[in-house]
Chains A and B, each alone.
Chain A
Amino acid sequence: MANIKKTPGINGSSMADVSFILLIFFLMVTTMGTDYGLIRQLPPMQEKPEENPIDINKKNILVVNVNQRDELMVGSDLTDISRLREKTKDFFNINNKGVEYPDKKDTVFANIGNVSINKSALVSLQNDRGTSYKAYIQVQNELAGAVIELRNEFCMQYFGRKIDDCTQDQQDIVSKKIYPMSISEAEPKNVQIK
């Protein structure tokens, strides 16, 4: 004896909620191909290429040179890329006050007090036309990393927190006055190594 039963209809009212959850899930998860990059400002074009009249003292400049074999020279030593960050930090660090370090000048900042900052310390980045882009980015990355680490150390010492957690005023003072990203790029040389 076949008792035929009516299947109850599925309640569809919660389907909307389910689909909204799915929609939100996809909205959160989908990346729109976010790009990350090292942001740099190029120097403006000079109509007349004038010779640099300011003779900057040698100790105020750290020459970083990458040759066409991707070998790195910092100052006058052949260096491995892993030591570049440490060397750059050593050069820029305002606590290094010896004669061999860049000139310092005492400056008074609001809410911070007297800090002796680098007068005109500069990293001069030179590369060859044959340098690979990979090596160039590594060097740029290490230089940027060194400055960011110094900024963070300064902020920890004076404000007790990292630079990203500081107020906008504090960030501006630290990143523009105390530890600016002083990297100068020379036009690449076309040196042939035989």
Chain B
Amino acid sequence: MAKFKKDVASETPEIATTSLPDIIFMLIFFFMVTTSMRQATVMVEQKLPMASEVKKLENKSLVSYIHIGSPIRQYHSTYGTAPRIQLNDKFQMVQDIADFIASERSTKSEADQSKMTTALKTDEKVKMGIMSDVKMALRRVGALKISYITTKGDKVF
């Protein structure tokens, strides 16, 4: 008859720590991938319209965002409910777009400046009046490549 049990004093086995670095690396990579630098907090309500013929926005480092919509609830007392333009972290006026584009341009190399895109993230309830003011301002500073950011979907109407 085989002997199944050894008479050895119990020892708690050590937890293998060799893979700990891997786990840490994994976490690091995960956070590196998901975190995007200088993400402006959106201070306007945004329900993007839906479109089907959309293209993916390439080269995110060359994209400057302009958010347009009515301020979210916590800013109602200060900024009201009329649609506003948000550049970086501040509510600004149409005249400030020129400065915004200029400062965005100055951070890019000359070769990349022509490839810059302005992404307009606009709430679907906003009227076209403010949009055409923004487009006019962009034309004036020569930022001609724009993208109307939408959600992707097939049921457009």
Which A residues are within 8 Å of any B CB, using their own CB?
Answer: 3-13, 15-16, 18-20, 22-23, 26-27, 30, 32-45, 81-82, 127-134, 136-138, 140-142, 144-145, 148, 187-188, 190
Report whether over half of chain A's contact residues are helix, strand or loop; otherwise say mixed. Answer: mixed
- B38 lies within 8 A of chain A by Cβ: no
Within 8 A of A (CB), among B100-140: 117, 119, 121-129, 131-132, 135, 138-140
Contact between chains at A137 and B146 (CB < 8 Å): no
Report Cα–Cα, A15/B26, bound state, in Å.
12
Collect the chain A residues with CB atoms within 8 Å of residue B152's CB. 36
Size category of the B interface is: 35 or more
A9-B14, A19-B19, A140-B51 known, 7 other contacts, Cβ within 8 Å: A18-B19, A32-B33, A37-B148, A38-B150, A42-B139, A42-B146, A45-B142
Contact among B36, B126, B128, B147 for A37, CB-based, below 8 A: B147
Contact between chains at B119 and A4 (CB < 8 Å): no
The contact sample of 10 A-B pairs, CB cut-off 8 A, is A5-B6, A6-B9, A27-B29, A33-B36, A41-B144, A42-B146, A45-B140, A129-B128, A140-B51, A141-B156
Known: A37-B54, A37-B119. A32 touches B22 (CB 8 A): no
- B11 lies within 8 A of chain A by Cβ: yes
Contact among A16, A35, A136, A141 for B19, CB-based, below 8 A: A16
Contact between chains at A23 and B53 (CB < 8 Å): no
Report Cα–Cα, A41/B10, bound state, in Å.
75
Collect the chain B residues with CB atoms within 8 Å of residue A187's CB. 132
Report Cα–Cα, A3/B126, bound state, in Å.
78
Collect the chain B residues with CB atoms within 8 Å of residue A10's CB. 13, 15-16
Report Cα–Cα, A30/B29, bound state, in Å.
11
Contact between chains at A188 and B53 (CB < 8 Å): no
